[in-house]
Chain A
Amino acid sequence: AQKVTQAQTEISVVEKEDVTLDCVYETRDTTYYLFWYKQPPSGELVFLIRRNSFDEQNEISGRYSWNFQKSTSSFNFTITASQVVDSAVYFCANTGGFKTIFGAGTRLFVKA
């Protein structure tokens, strides 16, 4: 069965600190995708990144980086030098067999 676990319910950091959001997934599919979405206070879910199950290369995009490790079924997300505008709820998701399952989300507070 598919499952996505985001153990951190809330994280609070001070601006310019680095922060890592954890994501652990379970799936029986051999081919699947992993995603991170951001949900700011306005409510709209915004796509951040997609990785497929055959590509374990880590990715960096500006202040964002992602670490995908199949051995531990994890897909963690790091924000470097956090900013107040990063405050949002972040969701990890897994798509297998066209079904997308979301984790419960991690609420990030970045204080000035």
Chain B
Amino acid sequence: EAGVVQSPRYKIIEKKQPVAFWCNPISGHNTLYWYRQNLGQGPELLIRYENEEAVDDSQLPKDRFSAERLKGVDSTLKIQPAELGDSAVYLCASSLVGSPLHFGNGTRLTVT
């Protein structure tokens, strides 16, 4: 089966610019996650979707971050405007209920 697909793989932007990341989960996986991984740290959950509903967005900085999962399949995560501290790897994962998370390769964001 195809894995979780993320794009772009790398993104370099200047601060205050907008940026968007895209994720295509494994077919049939109803749960989709966006994590942020800072250098030398473990992934931290930003938002979790069950189908098209965001069921846990308590860690999403809502003043500048937004996400959507139209039709309960693909998802996009947007940052506007980006700040220097947003530099990190943004990971998308999907799963079935109670099963392990399957991660994509991530998008490495550098904000200059």
> A residues within 8 Å of B by Cβ?
4, 33, 35, 37, 42-47, 50, 91, 93, 95, 98-105
Say yes or no: A43-B106 contact (C-beta < 8 A), given A100-B45, A105-B41: yes
How many contacts between A and B, using CB within 8 angstroms? Answer: 51
> Which residue of the partner chain, among A44, A50, A91, A99, contacts B42 with CB atoms under 8 Å?
A91
Could you list 22 A-B pairs, sorted by A, with CB under 8 Å? A4-B42, A37-B103, A43-B89, A43-B108, A44-B104, A45-B101, A46-B103, A47-B101, A50-B99, A50-B100, A91-B42, A93-B42, A98-B55, A98-B56, A98-B97, A99-B45, A99-B48, A99-B56, A100-B45, A102-B43, A104-B40, A105-B40
Q: How far is the CB of B57 from chain A (nearest CB, A)?
A: 12
> Which residue of the partner chain, among B41, B91, B97, B108, contacts A45 with CB atoms under 8 Å?
B91
> Which residue of the partner chain, among B31, B42, B100, B108, contacts A102 with CB atoms under 8 Å?
B42
Q: How far is the CB of A98 from chain B (nearest CB, A)?
A: 7
How far, in angstroms, from A42 to B89 measured CA to CA in the complex? Answer: 12
> B residues within 8 Å of A by Cβ?
31, 33, 40-45, 48, 55-56, 89, 91, 93, 97-106, 108
How far, in angstroms, from A35 to B98 measured CA to CA in the complex? Answer: 11
How far, in angstroms, from A103 to B43 measured CA to CA in the complex? Answer: 8
A105 touches B100 (CB 8 A): no
B103 surroundings in chain A (CB, below 8 A): 37, 44-46
B42 touches A104 (CB 8 A): yes
B43 surroundings in chain A (CB, below 8 A): 45, 91, 102
A103 surroundings in chain B (CB, below 8 A): 42
How far, in angstroms, from A45 to B93 measured CA to CA in the complex? Answer: 10
B106 surroundings in chain A (CB, below 8 A): 43-44
Q: Which residue of B lies closest to A97 (CB)?
A: B56
B98 surroundings in chain A (CB, below 8 A): 33, 95
Q: Which residue of A lies closest to B97 (CB)?
A: A98
Q: Specify which of A46, A47, A93, A100 lies most central, judged by the most chain B CB atoms within 10 Å of its CB.
A: A100
Q: How far is the CB of A30 from chain B (nearest CB, A)?
A: 15
B105 touches A43 (CB 8 A): yes
A100 touches B42 (CB 8 A): no
